[in-house]
Structure 1
Amino acid sequence: MPRRRASVPGIFAPLALVLACSASPGDAGGGTGSSATGTTSTTAASEGSGPSDTTSMGSTGGAPLPMPGPDVDIPAFSAEHVYFLPDDNRRQVDVEVEFPESDLSYETVTLSVDLTCPNGDACDWWDRLGWIGIVENAGTDDERIVELARFVTPYRIGAAWSFDLTMLRPLLAGPRTIRLFIDTWVGPGHANGEGWVVDATFAFRGGVPDPLPVWVLPVWHQTTFESGNPAAPYTDHVPPADVALPEPADVVLLQSLITGHGQGNAENCAEFCQKTHGFLVGDLPVQRVVWRDDCDQTPAQPQQGTWTYPRAGWCPGAEVRPWVEDVTAGVAADGTASIVYAMSDYENTCRPDAPVCMGCTLGTGCEYDGGNHTMPRYVLSAHLVGARTLP
């Protein structure tokens, strides 16, 4: 018998019908989930001694509090020159980092990132997507990224950001492979800048936060998908996920990063168009327009270029703000959760295979040219965080 779903609004209505018709009783359990890479298993990072009973999402009650750890600063990248040359690609850098053991508690965990210009004034001229994340299964065919922080570089100047990673503490325990990536295409000797110099440090401050994160479960690892092409639906990259939570939690949060990129398409998507994105957790819908209209207020200024223009979830020279929702009410009593991603209907009629080429906003044809016309796409990652509330 199909699972029943309450009526859901807007962007979820078509998906609700599909799911009701296709779901089977086995879909809700089994301890499996879906990731952006097409695999069907997820692994949660847990605080403390390990997973406990998963048969109930009741209160964590009188579980003992963990021991506060000593304050510690852990440099991950120091004066790291990120650049690209045809014979020397340094856009991506991996390092091995040893984090505090999981049985120690920290009231705050902060990632500080500083971007400066090579040789004093040779920053990349363009706004580039960047991120720092944990590499799972590094160097294998099943390599995946759990994003910790996403940012976009400013035009031609440096910037500095601080990311609050306190709720992601269960991920930051023991040895981890940490990756820094900036989508730059310039390097030493290039007329348009020489890339970026990056310093990044994790700061752990001992104490017990409230709420106290006890596990983090990646739902969709970092993925990039085309928008507006009927032949390449986003559900191929962000499929519905059925997950079993690793242990009881008083609060379950859904934390995601979503940004839109590409221009010159119909509606000037996906960088310059406003679209609604959302998640359906059980029968609980959460949705929002992914958009930032405060780019003229970013601390990284004055910049060159169009840095003041509103954009789909990001600004040049700014950190990407995580979207965090309390989805405790969407978790089933047996500690499982079904999660569906959806976004506004959109078809890009200015794409190379469009039946009729129309709607190109920047005066180009339908072929992508790497400049005024680039493929509309979104970059998305999402995970669940389970936390205890303190007495």
Structure 2
Amino acid sequence: MPLIDGDEFVLGDAWTGCDTYVFLPHDHVYERGEYWWEESSIEQMLDVSPPNVHYFFTVLSDSERDIAVHAEPVAERISETLASMPEADAAWWEDRLHVVGEPAFRLPGPVGLLTRGIGSEGFGIDRFQRIRGLGSSAWVNAYDEAIGWYRSRLQAVGHEPPYWNFESDRQDFMDTETVTEIEMWGPATADPGDDGVIDFEDRIIAQYHDVTVELPDAATMATFDTLEIEVLFECPDRNAIEFDNCGAWDYLAYTKLWDPESETWLEMARYITTYHRESWWVIDATHALAWLQEGGERTFRIEWAPSWNVQPTAITSTLRLSNRGKGYRPTQAIPLHQGGVFNADYNTREPVTVEVPNEAVHLELRAIITGHGADSRGCAEFCSHGHDFTIGTFNWRHVYSEAGTAQGCANRTGEGVPPNQYGTWWFGRGGWCPGEEVTPWVHDLDAHVSPGDSVESSYYGLYRGSSPASVGGDGNILMNSWLVVYE
């Protein structure tokens, strides 16, 4: 690629497998005629960028004249930004901020091809060598009343590379493990079409799907101390951008297990869908090993949209069974407390008494908690609610203080929140973020509860430190909690 300073950038020569690459067009598709480079801070983009990213500023044109109009000014702004930085930082970013010296429509190869088509809003190359879209660059601090939405800013794009790093680092760790994988639905197990072959389209489901899977026998299941559920959501049209292709809303999603004895679905894992973007989760569901220890044929449900607003999605879902050398495995998940409507009656509940088995060698509290809906206080999605557990001599209180903050979710792209969704993804929520897995709270009880004890567990929900009041609306807490027994 020719650069404006006369040099060339050759990706094959620069490739290390550790860097990411982002291509930024000057003329954003949602703001034709308003050049978002001019309204954006390069420094703010770099403030949220990891050090292993290269940025390429491309002029979305076939006219040489536009290089002088758009590329030369951004090159000057980059020079000014570098001059204001500490010397070491400036030296680092000088080699990673590139202004392309030829109109993008004239560029040969994939860069020119992408900018003339599906990559006209910008694109990137991640550490897996995959070409990635950049999503929506609308930013929370750039609301414009004239258009009723948020303007594009380079700062938004800076949140994309941290998420790519998160995905790559997670995969690196997964590759180190010895795991038994059981695909529940995907390329090998989806129902084939009329031709008898499982194609991509055969994996597309609109709302939920029940699958029956054969697990290893009880002796083999007893060798596992860890269970994760890996879930990949892909847009149904592989030849289109994510917007208006992937599901539009941040809905609750679950993996559940059918319990024939109680005739109920048991929650194994919870995650939240994105606003119009693809997503990939790996969720700890170790407590569910207690329900699966007999092995054999079991029925699971993968669910992610309400019946009144389905979201067709290509699904791959896999159980990951492993032994991490803990020295014990779950044998019971004893239900403790659940959530409910977050009002004055929320704490009208009795303590739960649990008889701890003599055979227990490890005990833990495990809770999955998220807040949803909106009463006049913004509860329980956007209000700061707290949760207080007491089990024996153990007490734990957690407050979702990030709920309602402007960037509570935007600040966590490096922890697994998919960035630049086509919606209000930035705002902090009460126990969740759009597109993120809901990580269970897990607490060791060994110092507080002993095998053979009869122990009492109590729980209270809190709003600003006190019991919630009834103010109208339908805010609610979705919670499942268990005392998990390991032997």
TM-score (norm 2): 0.51
* Counterpart for residue 260 of structure 2: 137
* Counterpart for residue 97 of structure 1: 213
Distance 2:373 2:285 in 1: 29
* Counterpart for residue 197 of structure 1: 314
* Counterpart for residue 469 of structure 2: 347
Whether the 8 Å contact between 2:279 and 2:418 is mirrored in structure 1 is yes
Indicate whether 1:148 and 2:268 are aligned.
yes
Distance 1:125 1:379 in 2: 22
Pick from 267, 270, 277 the counterpart of residue 157 of structure 1: 277
Considering Cα pairs closer than 8 Å and 6+ residues apart, tell me whether 1 or 2 has the greater RCO: 1
Kindly state the Cα deviation for residue 177 of structure 1 after the two structures are TM-superposed. Answer: 2.0
Please state which structure has a larger fraction of its residues in strand: 1
* Counterpart for residue 113 of structure 1: 231
Whether the 8 Å contact between 2:346 and 2:461 is mirrored in structure 1 is no
* Counterpart for residue 449 of structure 2: 331
Distance 2:260 2:401 in 1: 33
- Give the secondary-structure state (helix, strand or coil) at the position aligned to 2:289: helix
Pick from 351, 363, 385 the counterpart of residue 252 of structure 1: 363
Kindly state the Cα deviation for residue 182 of structure 1 after the two structures are TM-superposed. Answer: 1.4
Whether the 8 Å contact between 1:300 and 1:317 is mirrored in structure 2 is yes
* Counterpart for residue 379 of structure 1: 478
Distance 2:386 2:180 in 1: 40
Task: Quickly say closer, same or farther: Cα 1:219–1:169, change in 2 above 3 A.
Answer: same
Indicate whether 1:279 and 2:381 are aligned.
no
Task: Quickly say closer, same or farther: Cα 1:240–1:137, change in 2 above 3 A.
Answer: farther
* Counterpart for residue 17 of structure 2: none
Kindly state the Cα deviation for residue 331 of structure 1 after the two structures are TM-superposed. Answer: 2.6
Distance 2:266 2:185 in 1: 18
Amino acid of the structure 1 residue aligned with 2:426: T
Amino acid of the structure 1 residue aligned with 2:291: L
Distance 2:282 2:420 in 1: 20
RMSD (Å), alpha carbons = 2.6
Kindly state the Cα deviation for residue 321 of structure 1 after the two structures are TM-superposed. Answer: 1.1
Distance 1:74 1:98 in 2: 9
Amino acid of the structure 1 residue aligned with 2:362: V
* Higher-Rg member (1/2): 2
* Counterpart for residue 436 of structure 2: 318
Alignment of 1:56-95 (within 5 A): 71-78=179-186, 80-83=203-206, 91-95=207-211
Kindly state the Cα deviation for residue 208 of structure 1 after the two structures are TM-superposed. Answer: 5.7
Whether the 8 Å contact between 1:331 and 1:337 is mirrored in structure 2 is yes
- Give the secondary-structure state (helix, strand or coil) at the position aligned to 2:237: helix
Kindly state the Cα deviation for residue 226 of structure 1 after the two structures are TM-superposed. Answer: 0.7
Kindly state the Cα deviation for residue 254 of structure 1 after the two structures are TM-superposed. Answer: 0.6
Task: Quickly say closer, same or farther: Cα 1:245–1:80, change in 2 above 3 A.
Answer: farther
Task: Quickly say closer, same or farther: Cα 1:277–1:337, change in 2 above 3 A.
Answer: same
- Give the secondary-structure state (helix, strand or coil) at the position aligned to 1:200: strand
* Counterpart for residue 400 of structure 2: 290
Pick from 127, 130, 153 the counterpart of residue 250 of structure 2: 127
Please state which structure has a larger fraction of its residues in helix: 2
* Counterpart for residue 17 of structure 1: none
Amino acid of the structure 1 residue aligned with 2:395: P
- Give the secondary-structure state (helix, strand or coil) at the position aligned to 1:169: helix
More displaced stretch, 268-277 vs 72-81: 72-81
What count of residue pairs does the alignment treat as equivalent? 273
Kindly state the Cα deviation for residue 153 of structure 1 after the two structures are TM-superposed. Answer: 0.5
Kindly state the Cα deviation for residue 220 of structure 1 after the two structures are TM-superposed. Answer: 4.1
More displaced stretch, 122-131 vs 283-292: 283-292
Indicate whether 1:218 and 2:331 are aligned.
no
Q: Any unmatched runs of 5+ in structure 2?
A: 1-177, 187-201
Task: Quickly say closer, same or farther: Cα 1:144–1:234, change in 2 above 3 A.
Answer: farther
Indicate whether 1:179 and 2:318 are aligned.
no
Task: Quickly say closer, same or farther: Cα 1:257–1:71, change in 2 above 3 A.
Answer: closer
Task: Quickly say closer, same or farther: Cα 1:212–1:334, change in 2 above 3 A.
Answer: closer
Amino acid of the structure 2 residue aligned with 1:376: G
Kindly state the Cα deviation for residue 203 of structure 1 after the two structures are TM-superposed. Answer: 2.1
Distance 2:181 2:443 in 1: 29
Kindly state the Cα deviation for residue 261 of structure 1 after the two structures are TM-superposed. Answer: 0.2
Residues 227-279 of structure 1: CA distance to partner in whole angstroms, max 9, x if unpaired?
A: 11x3x43545xx4321223442232101110000012x232110011111021
Amino acid of the structure 1 residue aligned with 2:282: S
Q: Any unmatched runs of 5+ in structure 1?
A: 1-69, 84-90, 188-193, 352-367, 369-374
Whether the 8 Å contact between 2:368 and 2:481 is mirrored in structure 1 is yes
Kindly state the Cα deviation for residue 326 of structure 1 after the two structures are TM-superposed. Answer: 1.4
Kindly state the Cα deviation for residue 316 of structure 1 after the two structures are TM-superposed. Answer: 0.1
